[in-house]
Amino acid sequence: MRLLVLPADGIGPEIVAAALVVLRRADRVFGLGIHLDHDEVGFASLHKHGTTLREETLQRARGYDGIILGTQSHAQYPSPDRGGRNISAAFRVQLDLYANVRPARTRAFLPSNLRPGKSMDLVIMREATEGFYPDRNMAQGWGEFMPTADMALSVRKITRHASERIARRAFELAMQRRRHVTAIHKANSFHMTDGLFLEAVRAVASGFPEVALDDLLVDASTAHLVRNPERFDVLVAENLYGDILSDLASELSGSLGLGGSVMSGDALCCAQAQHGSAPDIQGQDRANPTSMILSVAMLLGWLAQRRGTDEPAAAARAIERAVDAALEDPGGRTRDLDGPLGCMAFGERVAALVG
């Protein structure tokens, strides 16, 4: 099992290092046969090669079983013509990692930001290759432009192909969970684009009669996430809606730092923490690596499904149990959760619990 490790920016190298301690322990326990290669992206690559993502690195990634990608400070990158390439966007579009899978769940032993008595256990399936993102919705050029100094326009792209395949992944996941999919849209305003998305989801639903489908306006869904999160199982959404709702759901469940995330396609999967690069705490051993650790577990789960093998799946479950066991002990938490541990110490704590 060959994995490409790209630590990237900010706290990325720290949380990736902690996650690799856990992964190496899982490799020893479950005999995964993992081989890790490292490369530079982000500011390290920019300073050395003049670009945040070399084309050779992008193409090299195709030859691996999976990718572990650290956090990126892409808001601070220079413009694309000066080498500031959005790494996540390039991976999603060029490697066709179209499904951004973002779970969010509460834990009884940790405080959440929900009302007392409320709980959450859901997964947001976010389509990641099109939508209102100007760097990924045109074959050539940029999807956002200014005809005059006082006018800015943006082009949105929704295709039946992309909508159907993210819907299919959502229904397949729902079959493994509570068999309920909610399609998120704004078809009352975006009649054609969200209308097409909704039409595609309903077409896919016909092939999954065991799964209940409902749909909800994106603005109403934010209210339901706060008021009645138990109603949700799997949510399927286009790019922008999924991006916003997943941050909301994770923060409501307790913290952006507590949920894993992968970018997956049909042939490749990339583990990537849900949160940002937090440069204000970079190098201080204060980061919480939980999201990165759980993202690596999700990558192992994806590999298990793709290969039809038990060992990666067992390792993924063991890592998830170890994370919960560490978090359940107040003395085993990171400082952002009022615990005593730094980033690497938490990774070592989780690793010791894998078995």
Catalytic residue list: 133, 186, 219, 243, 247
Residue 162, Ramachandran bin (φ over 0: left; ψ between -120 and 50: alpha; else beta): alpha
Contacts of 1 (CB under 8 A, 6+ apart): 32, 33, 34, 35, 65, 66, 303, 312
Which amino acid appears at position 33 of this protein?
G
Q: Which of 184, 195, 198 is nearest to 236 (CA)?
A: 184
For residues 208 and 167, give the distance between their C-alpha atoms in angstroms, rounded to a whole number.
11
CA 102, 108, 112, 115 torsion-angle sign: positive
* Exposure letters 229-268 (e unless 16+ CB within 10 A, then b): beebbbbbbbbbbbbbbbbbbbbbbbbbbbbbbbbbbeeb
Contacts of 208 (CB under 8 A, 6+ apart): 171, 174, 175
CA angle centred on 290, ends 265 and 180, rounded to 5°: 50
Q: Which of 55, 54, 52 is nearest to 83 (CA)?
A: 52
For residues 94 and 88, give the distance between their C-alpha atoms in angstroms, rounded to a whole number.
10
Please, are residues 37 and 2 in contact by the beta-carbon 8 Å criterion?
A: yes
